[in-house]
Amino acid sequence: MTDQLADAAGTTADPADTDGRVRRGDRTRRLVLGRAVDVASVDGLEGLSIGRLATELSMSKSGLIAHFGSKEQLQLATIRAARAIFATAVVEPALREPPGLGRVRALLDAWLDYSSDRRFPGGCFFARATHEFAARPGPVHDALAAADTEWLALIARTIAEAQAAGEIRADVDADQLAFDLAAYLDSANLRSLLLGSFAVYDQARAALDRRLTESAS
């Protein structure tokens, strides 16, 4: 349709110009979402607004509206960006380990590093956002619920792989163990922020190690 309008006007769109606009648009989105995930990890997804980000990044509000449309769309895009960061920081390194107990430990260690290193200033992005939207139905709630379900399923799957490798007992309920391990992670993240202490991560590592040792074959 754009090409037809250009032809009717006696001009032809320059593909190089179009590609340049796309690249600039992608850079703008990455810049905005990089700031958005940091803001949301501290102030929550409700702390995000197109006006706030425009001011902090010295951009036009109308330009950001063109990229995201609405606050809800900005929140959903921020969740997707946080998921990509989480995958790079936690999931991908762990999955480079061979299936087995070592992969389970690598996944948990990577999560503790991601939280304690403050990849997001407010600790785990998903812990902050999930508490905020847990009782609020809608697309943002659903996106966060999907991320949480996927995370627990990944832990359970790595446990099942370790069972298949004979490194975790066959009688262990993989879903229950995944729930227990995730609870230790969440507790460490919350208390490190609340108490301003990183010692809780050592406590979490000890609890995780004890639980996995009890479950090992």
Q: Is residue 4 part of a domain?
A: no
**Radius of gyration from C-alpha coordinates of the chain:** 22
The one-letter amino acid at 1: M
Q: What is the pTM of this model?
A: 0.85
Q: Is residue 3 part of a domain?
A: no
Are 100 and 162 in contact, with CB atoms under 8 Å apart? yes
pLDDT band at 20 (very low <50, low <70, confident <90, very high): low
Q: Domain range for residue 170?
A: 13-215
pLDDT band at 11 (very low <50, low <70, confident <90, very high): very low
The one-letter amino acid at 127: A
Model pLDDT, residue 21:
61
> C-alpha distances in angstroms, 18 versus 3, 12, 24, 98, 128?
12, 11, 10, 44, 38
The model's pLDDT over 89-135, given as tens digits with 9 standing for 90+, comes to 999 999 999 999 999 999 999 999 999 999 999 999 999 999 999 99
The model's pLDDT over 145-204, given as tens digits with 9 standing for 90+, comes to 999 999 999 999 999 999 999 999 999 999 999 999 999 999 999 999 999 999 999 999
The model's pLDDT over 47-73, given as tens digits with 9 standing for 90+, comes to 998 889 989 889 888 888 888 888 999
In the numeric block, which tokens belong to residue 32?
């905005």
Q: Is residue 165 part of a domain?
A: yes
Domain CATH for 40:
1.10.357.10
Q: Is residue 197 part of a domain?
A: yes
Q: Is residue 8 part of a domain?
A: no
Q: Is residue 7 part of a domain?
A: no
Q: Looking at the 3D structure of the chain, how many domains does it have?
A: 1
Q: Is residue 6 part of a domain?
A: no
Model pLDDT, residue 68:
87
Q: Is residue 1 part of a domain?
A: no
Model pLDDT, residue 15:
52
pLDDT band at 29 (very low <50, low <70, confident <90, very high): confident
